[in-house]
């Protein structure tokens, strides 16, 4: 068996902050602001349905490409290691596809560019989450908090504050944020400086010679429920919470303009929400992990984080003004800050096969990409049935189910 790669936490932590922030931030800005704005320009009458179409297409592409990217990176041997070639390549092609989106003159061309971007994005995401396994066991909590708490907080909210400034120049925004992704991901990859794994090529060749496909081997890849129960519950919880979150964030522009009727206050409203959520998320990223380690609690804060998101959605449902927006920002900020800081750490504790951490982290990461696509689809259906209030009902219900899933995990008691 090849020797496990350990990367210094001093290099890994900044990379795990810069890396996810660099792909998630621009993507969230484009999905939540630039894409809806461009669709409104290209097809204003069908903008809600078109956004749902883009989301559904992205969902299918993300699910497939994430698994393919993870499998390819697991079996890659190069002087730059397993993950780096795919991560940098994905960032480069994502940048090119977003530049193409900026020059799209019709919905069809935009859909093609967006779809290529989804593939490229997952060739960043799937290998990058496996960087968590480069941390020594005693530092995995710090690595998880850096990736999920600080990196995801920067990505989810920090970039939207800047992105809102480009609402009047959203085509330029596609280009600028595509370039930001490439530069940030490249910097993070250089910080990690994954060592060569060319020495593993011969070992991998010998393993393939002894491998034969069977139903037993398939069951080993995806463990039965009684073996992987807690892992599957964590995965289901992640997907449901993500859907609850993106049901609102995916339509935040339309909520501000068509539902709350903020008009000229739309930009400031979006900046307020993301500023509050950003600072709370960063705070959680610094303190959630160390506090969880000190008091030996993990399941409880992760489960309660979903309840905070449900409370934030309830505020928007009850208060159709900036009061509701502010309460939502604080509650969702606490909820998503806690979740992003600790959910990867929780997943590390419930992985059914400790020898395949990278694989299971990659599958778990589908819980990031799928909700970003599925959430707006479900929200669009709710809008069509009962109006924009349906978005908040969807968010509450899915967040509550996510909380129940996490509370049902048995192997982590607190």
The string of pLDDT tens digits covering residues 322-361 is: 888 889 999 998 998 888 888 878 887 888 876 666 567 6
Quick one: DSSP state of residue 4? P
* pLDDT of res. 201: 65
Please report how many Cα atoms fall inside a 13 Å half-sphere around the Cα of residue 409, on the Cβ side.
Answer: 31
* pLDDT of res. 209: 47
Q: Could you tell me where the DSSP H helices lie in 30-74?
A: 35-42, 47-74
Selection from 131, 144, 126 nearest residue 5 by Cα: 131
The C-alpha atoms of residue 412 and residue 392 are separated, in whole angstroms, by: 31
* pLDDT of res. 357: 62
* pLDDT of res. 123: 92
Is the pLDDT at 375 greater than 80, yes or no?
Answer: no
Domain 9-407: give its CATH code: 1.20.1250.20
174 or 140: which carries more pLDDT confidence?
174
The continuous run of DSSP H or E covering 191 comes out as helix 170-192
pTM of the complete model: 0.73
The C-alpha atoms of residue 234 and residue 217 are separated, in whole angstroms, by: 23
Mean pLDDT of 282-298: 79
The C-alpha atoms of residue 227 and residue 345 are separated, in whole angstroms, by: 19
Residues 73-104 pLDDT 10s: 877 888 898 889 999 999 999 999 999 999 99
The C-alpha atoms of residue 235 and residue 94 are separated, in whole angstroms, by: 26
């Amino acid at each position: 068996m090849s020797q496990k790669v350990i990367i210094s936490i001093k290099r890994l932590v900044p990379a795990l902050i810069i890396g996810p922030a660099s792909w998630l931030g621009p993507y969230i800005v484009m999905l939540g602001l630039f894409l809806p704005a461009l669709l409104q320009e290209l097809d204003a009458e069908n903008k809600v349905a078109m956004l749902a179409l883009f989301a559904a297409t992205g969902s299918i592409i993300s699910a497939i490409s994430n698994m393919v990217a993870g499998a390819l990176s697991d079996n890659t041997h190069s002087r730059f290691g397993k993950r780096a070639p795919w991560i940098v390549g994905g960032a480069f092609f994502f940048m090119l596809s977003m530049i193409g989106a900026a020059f799209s003159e019709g919905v069809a061309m935009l859909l093609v560019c967006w779809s290529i971007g989804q593939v490229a994005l997952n060739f960043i995401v799937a290998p990058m989450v496996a960087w968590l396994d480069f941390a020594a066991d005693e530092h995995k909590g710090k690595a998880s908090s850096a990736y999920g708490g600080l990196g995801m907080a920067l990505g989810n909210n920090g970039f939207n504050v800047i992105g809102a400034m480009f609402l009047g120049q959203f085509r330029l925004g596609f280009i600028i944020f595509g370039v930001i992704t490439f530069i940030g991901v490249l910097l993070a990859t250089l910080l990690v400086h994954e060592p060569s794994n060319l020495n593993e090529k011969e070992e991998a060749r010998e393993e393939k010679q002894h491998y034969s496909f069977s139903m037993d081997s398939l069951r080993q890849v995806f463990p039965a429920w009684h073996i992987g129960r807690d892992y599957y519950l964590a995965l289901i919880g992640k997907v449901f919470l993500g859907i609850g979150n993106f049901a609102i964030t995916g339509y935040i522009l339309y909520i501000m303009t068509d539902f709350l009727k903020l008009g000229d206050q739309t930009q400031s409203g979006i900046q307020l929400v993301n500023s509050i959520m950003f600072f709370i998320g960063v705070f959680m990223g610094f303190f959630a992990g160390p506090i969880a380690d000190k008091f030996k609690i993990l399941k409880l804060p992760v489960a309660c984080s979903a309840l905070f998101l449900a409370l934030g959605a309830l505020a928007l449902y009850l208060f159709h003004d900036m009061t509701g927006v502010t309460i939502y920002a604080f509650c969702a900020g606490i909820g998503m800050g806690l979740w992003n800081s600790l959910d990867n750490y929780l997943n590390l504790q419930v992985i059914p096969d400790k020898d395949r951490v990278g694989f299971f982290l990659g599958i778990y990461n589908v819980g990031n990409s799928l909700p970003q696509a599925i959430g707006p689809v479900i929200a669009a259906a709710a809008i069509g049935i009962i109006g924009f209030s349906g978005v908040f009902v969807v968010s509450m219900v899915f967040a509550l189910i996510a909380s129940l899933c996490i509370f049902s995990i048995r192997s982590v008691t607190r």
